[in-house]
Structure 1
């Protein structure tokens, strides 16, 4: 399906390739699907590049998280606006955009507040598979509906997204790189700059050195932190970590005592800030305990998708002066603030390309999942057929 800058396919049903998940844990099947035109307030996007995030993997693997199939996953991508539904006035066909799972309606109490990036209308729900406009899907195959994921569904050559989840970006920015700003990079960098507001010369500990953990390290570098400790049980990640500014790397398996005690000894009582980027309640607890009494702040970045979701916590610990908080999408208001990160990347103030370990054709999506699951990639960028980019 060819696309020109004038949106010549507007109003038509488009047949294109998509990776369809027919059941949990089953390999993705490349199918010819139909994508309906956008309704009012919606945008149809030609996806040029997309990546696999751990959230895609986790939800795809756990039946309890997503009850309905078939489904089109994917939420870390970039592309070009193909056509617009009625009432969308801030975009036009041909715009370069990043679809985002964390929407920004712009008028609810949360969107009007400078204290949060949450949106009352666009609540993140991985199990949701319908468009909020009419509670239906825009995808189908042989007449059968295909469900959406995170409001984005980027494992398709074309997708339909509510305009509150579409960020217009600098057209000179390479889509094959800035697609990572749709989730992992923004989440990690924002956790430092927006949520924790790390100051220069601070000490930081990062638990989990995947793409999000490295993005936290990048945020700490930008913030001017003086000590940045990376913690992971896979020492292979330390080499890459040091490229992102880690000053020290710790493997808990190398010590005969809890790693939080090691960190206390190395930092005179604990770090100023800690970030949990694994999604494990035990690691969350350890990250909190690694902070200094009196002022330490621990930020939960990872999402525990297991059935073990309870943290053991004594309320009396709150009197020790530590703060425990979480972050979603790094605290960024997507539509209004994500362009800031694109600008930083274009000015070479933000490392993004360094996180890309593999590039594959979209048709090899199962290999991209395998690479991430086996721990052999940070981010694998897949380019769509005939993307032209």
Structure 2
């Protein structure tokens, strides 16, 4: 039995009414998040209002909180995009989700109707794809959050999960098995899906292959978990934080490289221990110099580099066009190539049956009002995911 078993909306019908609840509001870049009462309006057409039970902090939240990207500087704002909860009410036209369903919100939606959603070649969605510029709802260009005096509070990445209640487009809500443990399922909103999917869907890692992962945060370790499940024989983890290595061994990393301990470039070291380079490399650090090392660490002729890190810098790719004639390839990955609404329920099932181990990714747990402590744990590199519960 988890927290959801104690939640019922039957006795207090809040459908169609505004709800007052606690939220962590970002008032400015780098400022401590403020726990305050906010008003959450009812869902409009094709929207869903969720009661968030668990949420965690991702590096994308951290970057937005710092104000590292101009596109992410709408304030006041409710951040957060990794979470799990239960449906409180639905708006007009929502048919696939109902009150009481267990769900996870996703920042990268799937409308099912646009040109991209109708194509089997991509997981992009033209209407509800990730967009850091977006700070209001698609339906009417307004927010569903406000202060006590009615001033708007802006949305973030289609989700805004640092709030006890949130309103999201139905395209960004995934219904999962009612028996699924929601505290673990929250990880599928971003980090684990992004990493595992990069290994499975984007790179299509093959049994017996070699892999190098640059950056061993939650996403990088999820790549390792995905590569392990796929049967990769050599999984090399690259990070300057040696504390990440112990956790890496648990998820399948076989060798570790700390660039600060080398006298040669990382790609030369990897080339020496893999007979010319790995089959697949994954850049999870959001650093252009690291991206170049990841690219050069793959084997000429067939090496594939998957770009996962967020790069706020205006600098362009550190590659010369002629280097692509060596047969190496580079590709970006959004949400691990997963189509959220149609494919995440199956991923959740695989987690429930033990194919993937989610326990290793939750390193800390705190009550929601300790969110600034959780933020600092991530800043200090001491946590992968700190699970916050209401």
Q: What's the counterpart of residue 4 of structure 1?
A: 8
Which residue in the other structure is 1:76 paired with? Answer: 82
Find the partner of 1:107 among 104, 113, 116: 113
Other-structure match for 1:221: 228
Residue of structure 2 equivalent to 1:343:
349
| Displacement after TM superposition at 1:102 (Å) | 0.4
- Structure 2 residue 219 is the aligned partner of structure 1 residue 212: yes
Alpha-carbon RMSD across the aligned residues, in angstroms, is 1.1
Per the TM alignment, residue 126 of structure 1 is displaced from its structure 2 partner at its CA by 1.6
Look up the match of 1:353.
Answer: 359
Query: 1:147-296 residue pairs with structure 2 within 5 A?
Result: 147-296=154-303
Tell me the equivalent position of 1:375: 381
Partners of 1:351 and 1:62 in 2: CA distance = 33
Deviations 1:191-243 (A, max 9, x none): 00000111110000000111100000000011110000000111111010000
Note if contact 1:281-1:308 (Cα within 8 Å) is conserved in structure 2: no
Cα displacement (A) at 1:3: 5.6
C-alpha deviation, 1:113, in angstroms: 1.5
Shift of 1:309: 2.7
Q: Which residue of 2 aligns with 1:56?
A: 61
**1-structure distance, mates of 2:304, 2:201:** 13
SS in 2 for 1:324: strand
Partners of 1:302 and 1:171 in 2: CA distance? 33
Checking the alignment, whether the CA contact within 8 Å between 2:107 and 2:129 is kept in structure 1 is no
Distance (Å, rounded) in 2 between the aligned partners of 1:67 and 1:56? 12
C-alpha separation in 1, matches of 2:314 and 2:381: 23
1:321 matched to 2:318? The reply is no
CA distance in structure 2 between the partners assigned to 1:205 and 1:5 by the alignment = 48
Alignment check: 8 A CA contact 2:213 2:283 kept: yes
Q: Give me the whole-angstrom Cα distance separating, in 1, the residues matched to 2:137 and 2:165.
A: 15
Instruction: Give per-residue Cα distances to partners, 1:320-342, cap 9 Å, x unaligned.
Output: 11110010100000000011211
Q: CA deviation at 1:107?
A: 1.2
Matches of 2:42 and 2:314, distance apart in 1: 41
Question: What is the Cα deviation at residue 114 of structure 1?
Answer: 1.6
Following TM superposition, by how much is the alpha carbon of 1:47 offset from its aligned partner in structure 2, in angstroms? Answer: 0.2
Structure 2: segments with no counterpart, 5+ residues:
1-5
Q: How many pairs align?
A: 382
Give the SS at the match of 2:319.
coil
Runs of 5+ in structure 1 lacking a partner? Answer: 385-389
Which has the larger displacement, 35-44 or 312-321?
312-321
Structure 1 residue 137, shift from structure 2 partner: 0.2
Partners in 1 of 2:211 and 2:319 — Cα distance? 22
CA distance in 2, matches of 1:177, 1:318: 40
Task: Tell me how far 1:317 sits from its aligned partner.
Answer: 1.4
Out of 113-122 and 209-218, give the one that drifted further: 113-122
Q: Secondary structure at the match of 1:65?
A: helix
Separation in structure 2 between the aligned mates of residue 288 and residue 327 of structure 1, nearest angstrom = 15
| Aligned counterparts of 2:207 and 2:120: Cα–Cα separation in 1 | 22
Paired position in structure 2 for 1:96: 102
Matched with 1:30 is: 35
Q: Any conservation in 1 of the 2:366–2:386 contact (CA below 8 Å)?
A: yes
Q: Distance in 2 between matches of 1:168 and 1:75?
A: 16
SS of 2:192's partner is helix
* Whole-angstrom CA distance in 1 between matches of 2:193 and 2:309: 13
Q: Is the Cα–Cα contact under 8 Å of residues 3 and 82 in structure 1 kept in the other structure?
A: no
Q: Distance in 1 between matches of 2:357 and 2:133?
A: 32
**Structure 1-normalised TM-score?**
0.96
**Structure 2-normalised TM-score?**
0.96
Q: Deviations over 1:304-329 (max 9, x none)?
A: 12x35322221111211111001010
Q: Paired residue for 2:131?
A: 125
In structure 2, what is the equivalent of residue 387 of structure 1?
none
Q: Does the 8 A contact of 2:110 with 2:129 survive in 1?
A: no
